[in-house]
Each structure stands twice: as C-alpha cells, then as structure tokens.
Amino acid sequence: MDPTHPTDGDSGTPSSGQPPHGGTPQQPTYGGSPRQNPYGAPQQPGQPGPGQPGFGQPGYAGQPPYQGQPYQGQTYPGQQYPGAQYGGQSPYPGMPGPGQYPGQPQKTSVPAILSLIFGVIGGILISIILGIVALTQIPKKGQKGKGLAIAGLAVSGLWLVGFVVAIAVFGDGEPDRDASGQVTTTQNTRPDKLRVGDCVSEINEGEVANIKVVPCDQPNGGKVFAVFDLPAGDWPGLTSVQTAAEKGCTDRWKASKQQASADSSIFYLHPTEDGWSLGDRGATCLLTPK
C-alpha cells in the first residue's frame, strides 16, 4: 500500500471524491428534479433564469405574447363622452353635463328673465320670442329659468286675451249703422264717434269716456245736432274750452233755425286736457229734453 494513495478500509476503493487512478473526474449529483422557473415550465437552454436580464418578460417559457388589448377605460377614436347623445346633458339624473363640475351652481337663463319682464309690461311679441328661445336653450346649456320662461309666456297670453276681449266689447268705437248712417242697435261708443242725427240714451255731467247710443225711434235722452272742432293751439285752459264749446253750439243751433218739439236745452261735449294733448279738438252739440 502506497501511503500517498489512502484507501477506505480493506477494499482498496478510492476515497469519496477522488478519481481512480488514470480515470476521468465525475460530476456529483444532488438528487431531485431539474430547476424550474417561476412559471412552472422547465428552464430551456439558453434562456435567462431568475435574476438575469430578460427573465419574466412576456413570451418566456411558452407564455403567449402580449396581444395589445386596450386598457379598460381607454377612449377610442370617435368615442363620445356620456351624454353627448342627449344634447349635451348627463344621461344620469343629478350628474353634471359637459362643461359643468360637481358643485358648480346652475346659471339662470337671461332670455327667461327678460321674457317675464316684457310679459309683465305688455311687450307681448318680445316676451313670446324670448320665452321660446329660453325654453330651447335651457336643456342644452343645463340652466335654470324654465319656470320664468313659462310665466312670461303665460302673462303674454293673458295680455292677448285681454286685447281680444276689449276689441270684442268696444271694437274701434264706431257704432253699427245702416246704409243711411243711422244707428241700428243700442251700444257704447266714444264721444268723438258721434255724428249729427245720432241719439243717446242719457248724458251724465263730468268726464265722459263712453256714451250709449240708441236708435232714434226709441226713447232717448238727446240728439246730436252739430259737431265741430275748436281752434288748434296749446291747451287754453278748461274755462276757455268750455266757453268756446258752449258758444259754438248755441250759434249753430240758432243758425239751423230748428224748432224743438218740446221744452229742451243745449248740451255740449268738449275735449279734456288729456284729449287735447292727443290731438282731440272736437266739440259735440246735443239737444236734450228738460
């Protein structure tokens, strides 16, 4: 036995880890399965392992490559925001539409406000136009004021109804007449619409806005015998107007040389200061029974 080559016991077998004389060294084995990557597939020769560059990239160890699927919530070309198909409003109640932010106060429609104002003061046409414009714009712009616009239209409607009723009741003030010009029915008219030969039911002293005319073959309270205009100019005062109207009527009755069929007196209608400012200069003379 060579002391330079120790053996295990008497078998003469080389010690563990030492190759036999003239042999090739063997690789030790450790038992167990080949190393596996985190994806559960055997590591392939030439592919990176854990901790090496490229390890875990898509497509490694038989994994399917990334398919380019869109991220959830991504906007595609041509995709519109919610509510675009609803005229710019959010399709969900209580949610702000485009251009609005949570907590942002709604503005009141200016056309709706103006519609109500013009409706109250009698600007019927303007009120109606603005009301329609407001009702059209309010849903699109998410504004307030729908009630104001409706109120403006309602007030304008009341004005229209009032005008129609006034025309139906008073008309243009001209009484109904036959072909000869005689009044045919009892009706109200304005004093400046009276003609010579018209008969009235009664006359009250003071300012007269309307006077009732009747056919002259019915009992009446007076008949028109003259109508004339006072001289133009500035308002001369009530006393001067009354004096001029009385003298004009008296002179015209005398000039007509008519004789009253019963005890009668002359009554005259004259313009007021307000009427004078509007161009009314007419005086009307009536013969009334006492």
pTM of structure: 0.43
Residue 129 CA to residue 152 CA, distance in Å, equals 10
Instruction: Determine the pLDDT at residue 290.
Output: 78
Mean pLDDT of 260-279: 87
Instruction: Determine the pLDDT at residue 224.
Output: 94
Instruction: Determine the pLDDT at residue 219.
Output: 87
130, 118 in Cβ contact below 8 A?
yes
Structure tokens at 18: 């030492």
Of 114, 145, 108, the C-alpha closest to 127 is 114
Instruction: Determine the pLDDT at residue 150.
Output: 94
Quick: pLDDT tens for 69-90: 554 545 445 545 454 444 445 5
Instruction: Determine the pLDDT at residue 7.
Output: 42
Q: In sequence order, which ranges of the chain are alpha helices (DSSP H)? A: 110-121, 124-141, 146-170, 238-256, 273-277
- For 156-220, the DSSP string reads HHHHHHHHHHHHHHHTTSPPPB-TTS-B-S-EEE-GGG--TT-EES---SS--S-EEEE-TTS--
Mean pLDDT of 148-174: 80
Instruction: Determine the pLDDT at residue 138.
Output: 93
Compute the mean pLDDT over every residue in the chain, rounded to the nearest whole number: 75
Mean pLDDT of 130-151: 93
What amino acid is encoded at 25 in this protein?
P
Whether pLDDT at 52 is above 50: yes
Residue 118 CA to residue 131 CA, distance in Å, equals 10
Instruction: Determine the pLDDT at residue 247.
Output: 95
Mean pLDDT of 209-228: 90
Whether pLDDT at 187 is above 70: yes
Instruction: Determine the pLDDT at residue 258.
Output: 81
Residue 152 CA to residue 114 CA, distance in Å, equals 8
